[in-house]
Amino acid sequence: MDSQSSGEHRKLVKSAGIMGFWTAVSRVTGLIRDQVQAYFLGTSHSADAFRVAFALPNMLRRLFGEGAMTASFVPVFTDFIKGKNKDEAWKFANNCLFSLAFLLLMITVIGVVFSGTLVDLLAAGFGDEPGKIELATSLARIMFIYTFFIGLTALFGAILNTIGIFGAPSFTPILLNLSIIAAAAFVSNRFEDSAYAFAIGVVVGGILQMIFLIPFAKKNGMNFKPLIDLKQQELRVVGRRMLPGILAVGVAQINTIVSMRIASTLEEGSIASLYHANRLEELTLGVFVISISTVILPLLSRHAYNNDIDSLKRSLTFALRMTMLITIPATVGLIVLREPIIRILFMHGNFDQKSLALTTHALLFYAVGLIGVASAKIFAPAFFSMKDVRTPVYISVVAVAINLLGCILLKGPLENGGIALAASISAFTNAGLLLLIFNIRFGSLNYKALWKSVLRISTATVVMALPIYLINHLLSGMQGRSIILQAGYLLGVIIAALFFFMVTLKIIHSQELDELFRLLRRKTPQNNIEK
């Protein structure tokens, strides 16, 4: 491994570490937010209505904003920065900003006007419960306003990520979480249904996120001069790539919408339980995997700009190995400890024993797909860096079809667990096809290094799994104890699991752990990072 690649990987880990820190804080505040929602709403009528209403603008945030915007904008903006002067780059950014603002305004208005129709399409099963579909529609009309602000926030984040600023964009979700928690604490008693307080918190949080990033963009060169030039070639390139990119990046979100519609026909609380289970999966992904997938796109785009495919594949292989270091043990940990984790985190207020059973069942099947979801998030940026969004589109269509078929076939025997399992199968399909086509077009990754990594990490995971499985049985006898004592005991189990995992990696001379520590210490690895 040459010094340049080592330096790039060191920067990748450093940037991912900064982003991972704020993402971790965001996930913690998000977890508190979910606990507050579980306390006030449980898995009730109102909880299902809120989840459906929020799913509409949240889907647009992830598909249109964070997903397609980042994937389409970053490679083009990278070309501007590499090949043209800064004034032209920021003129392009301004054009994107005001053109996007106009588009988002139209989408928001359409969403508010047609909220009822969208809710009907999303949750047809709500019609069997009086007042449920009306509540979801009212909440959706409020929260569609969030789409405008979060879409612009996503663009600011993409701009800052391209120029190497990751901390500020990764901090903004904390503002959303705090806004929702504050709304629940201070205004929920003013509404007949507490779900309205959460909807207001979402909108205020979106406004705060956008306002927070404006000074960072301005400080780095953005002048915010009004400009809408739809004839600019680069803007059209971004627009053309965004349309298929919405489907390519958003396969998970499309699957969520499909799953939600089918889950609306199951027993009350199924949608809310799937949400809570999926949030725990995202908590695991968010701290490290999402950070790497975000940080790696500008790096891969620079390699693609220089037509350096070998460096691109080395960086991609390295990112995958670091991802496996997290996701393989996390999968086993979530499966073994899912019941005490959910009980301790959520079983308060209106979140009762039925809610616990539903959520635990769903998490089992979501956890199975953790590796597939993480891998897809690493593979997709490789195509986007090459300015290829069509291939991920075709693959995502297949993945969505697999998810739909799986939901239909599995919801009967497994109920809400079938919905979660279908999403996991779809994620592995998505990741597998992306990898296959990448190999055909650009050549194989370093599979020798990957398989050695998987073998070492899996060995350490097996050693870790046995003691935490045995210790977990002791937790079942603590359900009558105080929540603080239960939480402390669970934390001890998790720390013990990490200890067994890391000690085993050291004993078997795992390079993954050594490489990670070397890079964090900013030292040049002595061994070849590809071994």
pLDDT tens, N- to C-terminus, the chain (531 residues): 455 555 555 555 555 556 667 767 777 787 788 778 777 777 567 877 887 888 778 777 766 555 566 667 777 787 777 766 677 788 888 888 898 899 889 989 998 998 888 887 777 666 566 677 888 888 989 999 998 998 899 888 888 877 777 778 878 889 999 999 999 888 887 887 888 999 999 999 999 999 999 999 888 878 888 888 888 887 887 777 776 666 655 555 666 677 777 887 788 778 778 888 887 887 777 666 666 666 665 667 777 767 778 888 887 888 888 888 888 998 998 898 888 888 888 777 677 788 888 889 999 999 999 899 888 888 877 787 777 777 887 888 888 889 889 988 998 889 888 999 998 999 899 899 999 998 898 888 888 888 888 999 999 999 888 877 777 666 665 666 677 777 787 788 888 888 888 888 888 887 777 766 665 554 433 333 333
Q: pLDDT at position 428, please?
A: 93
**Which of 280, 283, 259 is closest to 271 using CA atoms?**
259
Taking the C-alpha atoms of residue 393 and residue 246, their distance in angstroms, rounded to an integer, is 8
Say if residue 319 is exposed, middle or buried (CB neighbours under 10 Å; 0-12, 13-18, 19+). Answer: buried
Computed on alpha carbons and rounded to an integer, the radius of gyration of the chain in Å comes to 23
Distance of CA 379 to CAs 298, 315, 435, 443, 448, Å? 14, 11, 7, 14, 18
Dump the DSSP string for 432-478.
HHHHHHHHHHH----HHHHHHHHHHHHHHHHHHHHHHHHHHHHHGGG
Quick: pLDDT tens for 428-482: 998 999 999 988 988 888 888 888 889 999 999 998 888 777 776 666 656 666 7
Taking the C-alpha atoms of residue 334 and residue 284, their distance in angstroms, rounded to an integer, is 9
Any domain includes 264: yes
Angle at 292 between CA 523 and CA 299, to 5 degrees: 75
In the numeric block, the tokens 């997290």 are attached to 326
Torsion of CA 452, 456, 457, 462, to 10 degrees: 140
Number of neighbouring beta carbons within 10 Å of residue 419? 31
Q: pLDDT at position 2, please?
A: 52
Any domain includes 509: yes
Torsion of CA 234, 237, 238, 242, to 10 degrees: 170
Taking the C-alpha atoms of residue 217 and residue 206, their distance in angstroms, rounded to an integer, is 17
The b-or-e profile of 467-482 (16+ CB within 10 A means b, else e) is: ebeebbeebeeeeeee
Taking the C-alpha atoms of residue 45 and residue 136, their distance in angstroms, rounded to an integer, is 10
Which structural domain range is residue 237 located in?
3-520
Q: Report yes or no: 97 and 75 within 8 Å, Cβ to Cβ.
A: no
Handedness of CA 431, 436, 442, 447 (dihedral sign): positive
Angle at 387 between CA 386 and CA 391, to 5 degrees: 90
Any domain includes 234: yes
Query: 70 — phi, psi (to 5°)?
Result: -65, -45
Any domain includes 448: yes
Q: pLDDT at position 109, please?
A: 92
Q: pLDDT at position 232, please?
A: 82
Any domain includes 531: no
Q: pLDDT at position 33, please?
A: 85
**Which of 61, 37, 276 is closest to 177 using CA atoms?**
37
Taking the C-alpha atoms of residue 243 and residue 526, their distance in angstroms, rounded to an integer, is 45
Q: pLDDT at position 436, please?
A: 92
List CB contacts of 87: < 8 A, sequence separation 6 or more.
Answer: none
Q: Report yes or no: 372 and 403 within 8 Å, Cβ to Cβ.
A: no
For 188-269, where are the alpha helices, taking DSSP H only? 195-219, 233-249, 251-263
What's this model's pTM, rounded to 2 decimal places?
A: 0.68
Any domain includes 525: no
Q: How many residues does the chain have?
A: 531
Taking the C-alpha atoms of residue 92 and residue 78, their distance in angstroms, rounded to an integer, is 11
In the numeric block, the tokens 């398989």 are attached to 451
Q: Report yes or no: 183 and 198 within 8 Å, Cβ to Cβ.
A: yes
Dump the DSSP string for 7-30.
HHHHHHHHHHHHHHHHHHHHHHHH
Q: Report yes or no: 499 and 467 within 8 Å, Cβ to Cβ.
A: no
Dump the DSSP string for 18-83.
HHHHHHHHHHHHHHHHHHHHHHHHTTSHHHHHHHHHHHHHHHHIIIIIIIIIHHHHHHHHHHHHHH
Give me the number of domains the chain comprises: 1
Q: pLDDT at position 19, please?
A: 62
Q: pLDDT at position 5, please?
A: 52
For 251-269, where are the alpha helices, taking DSSP H only? 251-263
